[in-house]
Structure 1
């Protein structure tokens, strides 16, 4: 039986949004999904979210998907799981439907998502976190889990109820004093792995097997960690190189989201990852040469493919 808890709003209809929507719906919650991808919205409304678990078993869970924020008015909780370049548009849409005392939680990659949302919605209605959960979109409305992972959230007075809902949906959740360390920790990993896999067209683990690629990955890791240090941000690991290589090994057969974006000719998050490191690093007078190189190469590759 579906719970009497007000519907939870998942913003996005891609892989991660579908993963969260499926788990919430499976736990008995009413789920709304707000997106712009027409084909996905139509499929979700017709068939629900089709979720493939770790054992390859497929189950379908009902959701209500829409591209109209007016149909989501009064939403108490919105979880934002879209690409970073979509954040400004999402903020404007949420301004039409998030309750005055509601909360928008961003679990996105990259920097500046919290600031962008807070500028429109107000700081009191925005919370941030990171997640190590993974998912792959097989086709619109069909998602395969990549492992449950952990959701790490910063402290916010409105988060308690949402944390309980996330745990009810089977997510492992932890709260921390501040999210800067976690966001930069994930940024170090994404900046070192994602663009290289996109440029070389290889799964994550191949970066460890190709000596020049491994060297470049490590150089980017060290450079990004140095930018964080220049900003007086402590990373959540003491050895950045080991941390990044551990992720590459643990996800050896996975293809990064940036690889997938490049493969289908979609816009990437390179500006919010390596591009953001370049911009912020320059203001801190830190070296950003390796990040700039990857940023420009991925930009050039995507411009060529869209020409």
Structure 2
């Protein structure tokens, strides 16, 4: 399989490394020139179960000229359209797209670039941090789930899941993938803004009663929005994930925290805003999530 990772930051590199380890041809595509140059010069440095230096090709979008079998999309949600338009040479009549991005609505963002039967979506619960150009660290356990976004034959999705597992990242097919995506979105909508607004990691949230109370209330609002949208989901598994995050990944910097610290736009609209809008579309209030959304948007307003 020839695999292009579109958006090769921390998570993209982690998954690209898995496909490489499984024996597939991988291109790590990113707009960060220094990151691309470092990977091409020294290999990808991955610190997971020990430090590896993996000889994987990296490229800027304009340097991708050949079609691939799979495009693994890891860009920020608001960059999806432009990023895919920038690699049209990689997309042919046999190319499949897989989004493991945060938030809701990624299936619709991929639709139109390939036929619906070649769109896959998934959810990743693995931690990963970019520690410098060409250097990624991933400490902690997790898993991935994926499935064709609009139903249909899961045969190619099964090949993708097998490749991930062979490369060291547990993965499985999940016919209820949209419930899994909602669950991850609710988890992220709860933990990411609290980390970003306090400028602290999950361990801090776990040590304080105020943040624990907000976590419980935010998860409840998200679950209510999912159920109103026709997605059957329970709160307890999401609450269990927040506990894992606060204990086992206590020092992990959530992506939204990294964005706020770096003065970058966040994905709060696709993560928190999408859940609030889904709730309100069904006549439900989501006051905690809406407040977190507005506060993060105020942080973004500082960028102007």
Please report the TM-score for the alignment, with normalisation by the length of structure 1. 0.90
Match in the other structure for 1:49: 44
Structure-2 separation of matches of 1:193 and 1:44? 31
1:240 deviates by 4.4
Structure-2 separation of matches of 1:27 and 1:273? 31
Q: 1:218 aligns with which of 195, 212, 216?
A: 216
Matches for 1:156-171 after TM superposition, within 5 Å: 156-171=154-169
Structure-2 separation of matches of 1:30 and 1:293? 45
Structure-2 separation of matches of 1:294 and 1:228? 18
Q: 1:38 aligns with which of 33, 44, 47?
A: 33
Distance 1:211 1:160, change over 3 A: closer
1:204 deviates by 0.5
Match in the other structure for 2:151: none
* Residues 25-65 of structure 1: per-residue CA shift (max 9 Å, x gap): 234332112221122112111112111123xx322111222
Structure-1 separation of matches of 2:24 and 2:4? 11
1:108 aligned onto 2:101: yes
Structure-2 separation of matches of 1:242 and 1:71? 41
Match in the other structure for 1:151: 144
**RMSD of the TM alignment (CA)?**
1.9
**Structure 1: runs of 5 or more not aligned:** 1-5
Q: Does the 8 Å contact 1:69/1:97 carry over to 2?
A: no
Match in the other structure for 2:278: 280
Distance 1:131 1:240, change over 3 A: closer
Structure-1 separation of matches of 2:12 and 2:52? 16
Q: 2:196 aligns with which of 171, 192, 198?
A: 198
Aligned residues: 299
3-state SS in 2 of match to 1:153: strand
3-state SS in 2 of match to 1:296: helix
**Structure 2: runs of 5 or more not aligned:** 149-153
Q: Does the 8 Å contact 2:93/2:114 carry over to 1?
A: no
Distance 1:21 1:87, change over 3 A: same
Distance 1:121 1:135, change over 3 A: same
Distance 1:303 1:220, change over 3 A: same
